[in-house]
Amino acid sequence: MADGGASTMILLVTSLLISGAASVVLLESWGSVAEASGNNSKGKVADAETDVSFSGDRSDVQLDTSGTNQEITLYFQNTGIRSLDKDDFNIFVDGTSASIVGAITLYPSNGVWAPDYVVEVTVSDSSFAYSDGDTATVLIIAKSTVSDGVQGTDSESAEVRFSV
């Protein structure tokens, strides 16, 4: 009887050690899943709080045809609650990635593209061949500044009419 009790006790202790080690592995895995879920939620919140919109009259967008390449002046407003990164956005005109010409002007000019602030940007591309009254589809993809380790993204697309 003593032998049966000792082997049962050894099996019990072994089982407890194995189950304890397994629970540690499961808890560590659950912690990683919870952390990833938290980061994903932060990213979704950042995207929801990031918003950019066209500003100004889309039926009267300035087109400068005097230079070698045509230049288009556009206005965009931060309509979200996070500041946008004025150095990290892309603009496409009729699907063509446009290059920014000159400096970006911020209204009011405090250096930060904060909520309700507007940027003026002039874009150009050698393939632009527009005339007065032509229309084009303009797309902007903007990112918020990094906050709490995440960055939100938003895009806005609209048809504009050019005025020389």
Whether residue 1 has pLDDT greater than 60: no
pLDDT, tens digit, for every residue of 97-144?
A: 999 998 999 999 888 999 999 999 999 999 999 999 999 999 999 999
Provide the mean pLDDT of the chain: 89
**Pick from 17, 41, 37, 39: nearest CA to 29:** 37
Label residue 94 left, alpha or beta by phi (over 0 means left) and psi (-120 to 50 means alpha).
left
Residues 6+ apart with CB under 8 A from 160: 54, 58, 59, 61, 74, 135, 136, 137, 138
Question: What residue ranges define each of the domains in the chain, with the CATH number in brackets?
Answer: 50-163 (2.60.40)
Q: Is 133 helix (H, G, I), strand (E, B) or coil?
A: coil
What is the tens place of the pLDDT at every residue in 5-25?
777 777 777 887 787 777 777
Other beta carbons less than 10 A from residue 97's beta carbon: 11
Q: Catalogue the E-assigned strands of 22-115.
A: 52-54, 61-64, 71-78, 84-93, 96-97, 99-107
The closest alpha carbon to 70, from 131, 138, 139, belongs to 131
Please state the φ and ψ torsions of residue 81, each to the nearest 5 degrees. -110, -5
Give the residue carrying structure tokens 């229309």.
Answer: 135
